[in-house]
Amino acid sequence: MSSQLDALRNHTTVVADTGDFEAMKALRPTDATTNPSLILKAVQQDAYRPLLEKTARDHRGAPTAELMDRLLVAFGRAILDIVPGRVSTEVDARLSFDTRATIERARALIALYQAAGVPRERVLIKIASTWEGIQAARALQAEGVRCNLTLLFSLPQAVACADARVQLISPFVGRIYDWHKKAAGANWVDADNAGARDPGVQSVTRIYQYYKRFGIATEIMGASFRNVGQILALSGCDLLTISPELLTQLSQTEGDAPAQLRADAVGGDIARIASDEVAFRTQLNDDAMASDKLAEGIRAFVADAIKLDALIEAQRA
């Protein structure tokens, strides 16, 4: 019998959520995603520190922001030597509420990739799913820059992304699960919130059903998993980005991973929702979980970007 990972590949494109090259070689994902936290973790390891040292040495006079972008692209180029598909590279989270600056930073990243001979279709620019980030993605997509909208926790965010014609969205699962578990406190029962009843799984399922009902071309990539059960409950999603730890667990477990999400099974009465700015901000504000997790996620990525800045600056000494 094949592994659950092999079975999952029959229904879903498997993506590695890591900056660890060796894990990618072993687990053979199609695409790979990175974020500031993953890159920060990687460059503190002996195996990957030379990338940081070389970037700082070769471009010693460059501003810190440029050095960070060059470091991200160095990782991305190495990843693309391993995976056959695409890599996601994230715009600095400190720009999450600045549309113009996000556009300019994304263009800079794409220019660095192109200068290195990487075609733009192999790169996804990751941007936080704020209103400003989504509008930046709208402009970038019109220029042929493909975007991955991350830190996405709600259907209104997903609908606004679809309206902006973004290439791909990354709706989070585990962080939604975490929020509801914390909110429930002593009343939380794991068994009652597993599989299809998991609040994070339900969120991605609603987005999937909405997109397929209205023929939306934007790809859906479930992200941020806490356990294998969440992954198997979303088998059939367009893509799933999974940590090396959970990919390894799937690869070492025999069994099937039947599709739980199927475009041809979407039915029922699904109403369109508005995606203008007022509707977006109102609906996001009304969703305490989505508001909390979006803000928390941006703060966490900003904190790690600042730490990455410090490591880059230390290399100048």
pLDDT tens for 102-144 read 999 999 999 999 999 999 999 999 999 999 999 999 999 999 9
Q: How confident is the model at residue 303 (pLDDT cuts 50, 70, 90)?
A: very high
**37 vs 6, which has greater pLDDT?**
6
- Using left for φ > 0, alpha for ψ between -120 and 50, and beta otherwise, residue 215 falls in left
| pLDDT 10s digits, 146-183 | 999 999 999 999 999 999 999 999 999 999 999 999 99
165: domain CATH number is 3.20.20.70
pLDDT(69) > 80: yes
- pLDDT for the residue numbered 27: 92
% of the chain at pLDDT higher than 70: 100
Give pLDDT, residue 189: 97
Give catalytic status of residue 182 as yes or no. Answer: no
On whether the CB atoms of residues 166 and 176 are closer than 8 A, the answer is no
Predicted confidence at residue 67, as pLDDT, reads 95
Residue 267 lies in domain? 4-315
Percent of the chain with pLDDT over 90: 95
**Mean pLDDT across 206-216:** 97
State the pLDDT confidence band at 1, using cuts at 50, 70 and 90. confident
| For residues 3-8, average pLDDT | 97
pLDDT digits (tens, 9 = 90+) for 32-46: 998 888 899 999 999
Q: SS3 sequence, the chain? A: CCEHHHHHHCCCEEEEECCCHHHHHHHCCCEEECCHHHHHHHHCCCCCHHHHHHHHHHCCCCCHHHHHHHHHHHHHHHHHCCCCCCEEEECCHHHCCCHHHHHHHHHHHHHHHHHCCCCHHHEEEEEECCHHHHHHHHHHHHCCCCEEEEEECCHHHHHHHHHCCCCEEEEECHHHHHHHHHHHHHHCCHHHHCHHHCHHHHHHHHHHHHHHHCCCCCEEEEECCCCHHHHHHCCCCCEEEECHHHHHHHHCCECCCCCCCCHHHCCCCCCCCCCCHHHHHHHHHHCHHHHHHHHHHHHHHHHHHHHHHHHHHHHHC
Residue 36 pLDDT: 80
pLDDT, position 85 = 97
Is residue 213 scored above 80 in pLDDT? Answer: yes
Asked whether residue 317 carries a pLDDT value surpassing 90, the answer given is no
The count of structural domains within the chain is 1
pLDDT, position 316? 79
Contacts of 39 (CB under 8 A, 6+ apart): 19, 71, 72, 75, 308
pLDDT tens readout for residues 78-96: 999 999 999 999 999 999 9
Query: How do residues 236-263 score in pLDDT, each as one tens digit?
Result: 999 999 999 999 999 999 999 999 999 9
DSSP 8-state symbol, 201: H
Token couple for 78 = 């190495």
CB 147, CB 170: distance < 8 Å: no
25, 54, 126, 182: which is the annotated catalytic residue?
Answer: 126
Can you tell me the mean pLDDT for 46-65?
A: 92
pLDDT at 34: 86
Q: According to the model, what pLDDT value does residue 49 have?
A: 92
Confidence of residue 268 (pLDDT cuts 50, 70, 90): confident
Report pLDDT for 98: 98
Span between the terminal Cα atoms of the chain, in Å: 55
Over the chain, what is the mean pLDDT? 96
